[in-house]
Amino acid sequence: MLKAALALALAALPRSALAQADQEQRTLRYMPFGDSITDYGCWRPWLAEKLKADGHTLDFVGGRRAEAECDGLDYDRDHEGHPGFQAVDIVKDNQLAGWLADNPADIITMHLGTVDIVRSSTKADVILQAYDALVDAMREHNPAMRIIVSQIIPFPANDGLVQALNAAIPAWAESRNTTESPLWLVDQYTGFSGTADLYDGLHPSESGDVKISEAFYPAMLQAIESFEAEK
Ligand SMILES: *[C@@H]1O[C@H](CO)[C@@H](O)[C@H](O)[C@H]1NC(C)=O
């Protein structure tokens, strides 16, 4: 009886109101995408905590589970950070499309290219071509994807290539920005120490993870608020 009454009441609502109620209830799905810098450490849970404090609880998505223990937090361990993966190879094997098909996302962060430089001394223009294909795959999956790309953290052993990539990213990022699928740029390099904020010359130490979470935070807020603005 109650059910029937509820169905009647819902049927009386205009369609747009229903769609709106739907959107308000749905938890936004966020895919942290990258290499080991995305897999290891605690920047994801610390970012989640900061957003939670603002009243935003996201559903972290991805085919991998983080193992790090982070202040005893019972955090959402899903992510798409693949240790040792190069942007160029992910594109060659068309892997991102499959990962997104398995774990759909509304928002994605990308910190990628470090391994291309570490393993293959890949130049900026080649990495940006890979970024292009990755952004295409993101938008093919979800035309309204909110995309957050990073100027990458230091890799002191090949700082020249890191700096060249980071210098080329802003113009590229602007060129790939659209109204339907906004793309934000986050500078993860400036203010990040190539010594104190890394524990092995490559991976973030605890202080490094704090900096990564703090740098992603304002862009994540903008991405989340861009959905609220649509309602
Ligand atoms: C893309 O556009 C949004 C506004 O929709 C803006 O906030 C953002 O800074 C732009 N991104 C870049 C890389 O210029």
61 close to 229: Cβ distance less than 8 angstroms: no
Q: Do the domain assignments include residue 4?
A: no
pLDDT tens figures, 23-57? 556 899 999 999 999 999 999 999 999 999 999 99
Count Cβ atoms below 10 Å from residue 196 Cβ, excluding itself.
10
Q: What is residue 1's predicted lDDT score, i.e. its pLDDT? A: 43
Q: How far is the CA of 199 from the centre of ligand 1 (A)?
A: 33
- The residue among 92, 174, 169 whose CA lies nearest residue 130 is 92
Which residue has the least CA distance to atom 3 on ligand 1?
182
Q: What is residue 229's predicted lDDT score, i.e. its pLDDT? A: 81
- Quick check: 8 pLDDT over 60? no
113 close to 168: Cβ distance less than 8 angstroms: no
Which residue has the least CA distance to atom 7 on ligand 1?
184
| CATH code for the domain of 192 | 3.40.50.1110
Which residue has the least CA distance to atom 14 on ligand 1?
174
- Quick check: 6 pLDDT over 60? no
How many domains does one find in the chain? 1
Q: What is residue 231's predicted lDDT score, i.e. its pLDDT? A: 67
171 or 4, which is more confident? 171
* pLDDT bucket at 20, cuts 50 / 70 / 90: low
- Residue 170 alpha carbon, nearest atom of ligand 1: 13
Distance CA(118)–CA(4), nearest Å, equals 62
Cβ partners under 8 Å of residue 148, min gap 6: 107, 108, 109, 110, 183, 184, 185, 186, 216, 219, 220, 223
Q: Do the domain assignments include residue 74?
A: yes
* pLDDT bucket at 170, cuts 50 / 70 / 90: very high
User: Ligand 1: residues within 6 Å at CB?
Assistant: 173-174, 177, 182-185
Q: Do the domain assignments include residue 23?
A: no
Distances (CA, A) of 154 to 109, 150, 182: 18, 12, 26
Domain that holds residue 216: 29-229
* pLDDT bucket at 11, cuts 50 / 70 / 90: low
- Residue 176 alpha carbon, nearest atom of ligand 1: 13
Distance CA(228)–CA(131), nearest Å, equals 27
96 close to 145: Cβ distance less than 8 angstroms: no
Distance CA(172)–CA(110), nearest Å, equals 14
pLDDT tens figures, 82-104? 999 999 999 999 999 999 999 99
- Quick check: 167 pLDDT over 50? yes
Q: Do the domain assignments include residue 15?
A: no
Q: Do the domain assignments include residue 213?
A: yes
Distances (CA, A) of 57 to 52, 54, 203: 5, 9, 27
Distance CA(20)–CA(230), nearest Å, equals 10
Q: What is residue 140's predicted lDDT score, i.e. its pLDDT? A: 98
Q: How far is the CA of 169 from the centre of ligand 1 (A)?
A: 13
Q: How far is the CA of 184 from the centre of ligand 1 (A)?
A: 5
Q: Do the domain assignments include residue 183?
A: yes
**Burial class of 181 by CB neighbour count within 10 A (0 to 12, 13 to 18, 19+):** middle
137 close to 99: Cβ distance less than 8 angstroms: no
Q: Do the domain assignments include residue 21?
A: no
Q: How far is the CA of 186 from the centre of ligand 1 (A)?
A: 11
Q: Do the domain assignments include residue 109?
A: yes
- The residue among 30, 28, 29 whose CA lies nearest residue 44 is 30
- Quick check: 115 pLDDT over 50? yes
* Ligand 1 mutation target, pool 183, 187, 221, 230, most atoms within 8 A of CB: 183
- Residue 185 alpha carbon, nearest atom of ligand 1: 13
Torsion of CA 75, 185, 34, 214, to 10 degrees: -30
Q: What is residue 228's predicted lDDT score, i.e. its pLDDT? A: 87
